[in-house]
Chain A
Amino acid sequence: MAKVVKVALAGEGGQGVQSIAEILAEAANDEGKNALYIPNFGVEQRGGVSIAFVQISDGPIGAPKFQKADILIPLSPRSVKRTQMYAGKDTIYVYDNSLIQEGEVNDNIIGLQYFDVTPPCPTAEQPNADLPADMIAGEPKTCSFTKPGQGVNPADIPEVKKVIAIPANDIAKNEMHPRVFNMIILGAVIAATEVLPLDTIKKALDTKLGDKFKENPELRTMNFTALDRGYNLIKSAM
């Protein structure tokens, strides 16, 4: 039986967890591997912890979800707590030790579908120029990754094979751009899983974002630099 690599990513709604998972699974599929990606989804599509499950294998893949992840990547203090059940003795655990302010789950956010609220959180403090103004004005925001909050409580980190802390959010915010946070994480995932070469992801991104990259070549450089940074962070820690 071919080995199945099981990855679980978790973060605040809007942190980009689902798009990281989707790009990872698509790139694996492009490589001719079997890949399965499933988001957890409920009625609170933004404003809570969002979890993505990805499995990659050369053989068939069984159930869409699993008990213990080979690679578990919680990206906020709250997701560290929420994902403890997926941590096992063989799990490689990568978490973000930046001081992230979590989104507040309050009455005006619960029950809203994703199209009712302003998308990805780095925009909360820095509205994106490419978003129509009416999508930003007056809409509830789910969280902020530019304001510091409390970090991960070390006591919440489960017993696993290996724990790696990376300040991805701080690096993105201070050295790059808040929006490339998920690229740093994607690079880290590639390094931790070792199922795909980094070039595959770059190829997948070129396909997916080709038009945007052509319009703005700087965007491509920025994304790829972030990807390399995340990759090297893990490689040097392992």
Chain B
Amino acid sequence: MAEVSLKGEQRVFMTGNEAVAWAAVAAKVDIMYGYPITPQNEIMHYWTRLAPKYGKRFLQVEDEISAGFTTLGGVMSGRKAFTATAGPGNVLMQESAGMAEMMRLPIVYIIQQRGGPSTATVIYAQQETTLTCFGGNGEGHRIVYSTATHQELFDYTIKAFNSAWTYRFPTFVLGDGYQAKMREPLTIYDPEERGQTLVKPVALVGENIKGKQFKHLRNTYNTEDELYEVVMANQRDWDAMAPKVVEWDQKGCEDAEVIFVTHGVVSRAASTAYDQLRAQGKKVGYFRPITVRPFPDEQLGAAVKGAKKLLVAESAYGQLLKMVKTALYGSNVEIVPMLRPGVGITTEEIVEEYSKL
């Protein structure tokens, strides 16, 4: 295979972890701070291989709490910075994500979900969906992209940096162990060559405007009222942002009797099941939130209007299901859950569940 590069568009065959490292280079990221955990290790490994060639930096720290906070330090000083983790590491990084919500720091996290709770498996799950959307002692003021293919891992990693630096909320790319470790083709490219704009980072603390006073970010408030004002201002910003960043995908919902609702890698199985069943003339539909935070509530509500049943399939025990139920509060559509915490879901299994309905 030819030397991989971002010059021109290049079709490559690689693991998801490698795709993420290339995406970070493509997004003109300055630095990664990291601590190893399977199945995301190779993001770090590839980044450390690529970084010197592109004049980028890397710092390995002592644990995930530190990785999260050092990344925030990089962000505050005006560097495009990110970190990557999984499972228990994601739990530890919620502390820094909370600070990013409070201080409006555009940090990017790549999450390759593994089995849980605790150490569990190093393999695969969708059990960090709730954690990634709502972890931390706050209101979930963040953006979470749930990817399904290597092309999306590449595209949404680039997009995550733009969203973070545009709206100043912590932004997550939610992958999983399967996406991390599997190999499939994708096209890598330099987004600026494609005419896409990369949002430029700026220093968020210190004397960043000449002649003005030093800028300071607060993380502590003295009174309840003071905090209330700040959280509500953030909430208003988040609410205003939500319709601009929300993304979803849907097929055949217009005349569908049964709609498959899935996110992330499971939507590959749902999409293939949809194609197979449609080819047999079955009235099925497919709906997939791409942003699980903000969740496409209205879009899902509109999509399921004519449906009799929803089959909600996920590799967790009801994390997507809760979001779907919240989105559809008041709707009469019957929801049939297919919950497989910590194990993959295949096309055949979705077709089988459908045939039981």
Contacts and interface: CB of A to CB of B under 8 A. Distances in A.
Interface in A1-42: 1, 22, 25-26, 29-30, 34-42
A64 B265 contact: yes
A61 interface: yes
A63 interface: yes
Interface string A95-112: 000000000000000000
Contact of B1 (A35, A36, A62, A207): A207
Interface stretch (A65-73, A145-153, A159-167, A184-192): A65-73
A61 B184 contact: yes
B269 interface: yes
A35 B182 contact: no
B123 interface: yes
Contacts of A43: 122
Contact of B268 (A35, A40, A42, A63): A63
A207 B1 CA distance: 6
Contact of A67 (B184, B276, B349): B349
Interface in B315-333: none
Contact of A64 (B122, B182, B271, B275): B182
Contact of A62 (B38, B178, B185, B268): B268
Contacts of B276: 1
A201 to B, nearest CB: 14
Contact of A1 (B268, B279, B345): B279
B39 A37 contact: no
A93 to B, nearest CB: 19
Contacts of B184: 34-37, 61
Given A26-B13, A39-B181, A63 B346 contact: yes
A193 to B, nearest CB: 17
A31 B81 CA distance: 37
Contact of A68 (B13, B122, B344, B348): B348
B275 A29 contact: no
Nearest to B348: A67
B344 A64 contact: yes
B275 A38 contact: no
B185 A64 contact: no
Contacts of B279: 1
Contact of A36 (B122, B183, B273): B183
A41 B272 CA distance: 25
A62 B13 contact: no
B347 interface: yes
Interface string B176-190: 011001111100000
Contacts of B273: 62
Interface in B229-286: 265-266, 268-269, 271-273, 275-276, 279
B121 interface: yes
Contacts of A25: 13, 183
A90 B341 CA distance: 29
A43 B41 CA distance: 14
A236 to B, nearest CB: 32
Contacts of A38: 178, 181-183
A65 to B, nearest CB: 5
B4 to A, nearest CB: 13
Contacts of B271: 60, 62
A29 B13 CA distance: 7
Contacts of A60: 271-272
Contact of B269 (A22, A35, A37, A62): A62
Nearest to A59: B275
A68 B351 CA distance: 14
A62 B279 CA distance: 15
Interface in A72-124: none
Nearest to A54: B183
22 contacts: A1-B276, A25-B183, A26-B13, A26-B183, A29-B13, A29-B185, A34-B184, A35-B13, A35-B184, A37-B182, A38-B182, A41-B177, A42-B121, A42-B122, A62-B268, A62-B346, A63-B272, A63-B345, A63-B346, A65-B178, A65-B344, A65-B346
Shortest beta-carbon contacts, A-B, top 9 = A62-B272, A63-B269, A38-B182, A67-B348, A29-B13, A36-B184, A37-B183, A62-B347, A63-B346
Given A29-B185, A63-B265, 19 more contacts: A1-B275, A1-B276, A26-B1, A38-B178, A39-B181, A41-B39, A41-B122, A41-B177, A42-B121, A62-B271, A63-B272, A63-B345, A63-B347, A64-B268, A65-B178, A65-B346, A66-B348, A67-B349, A207-B1
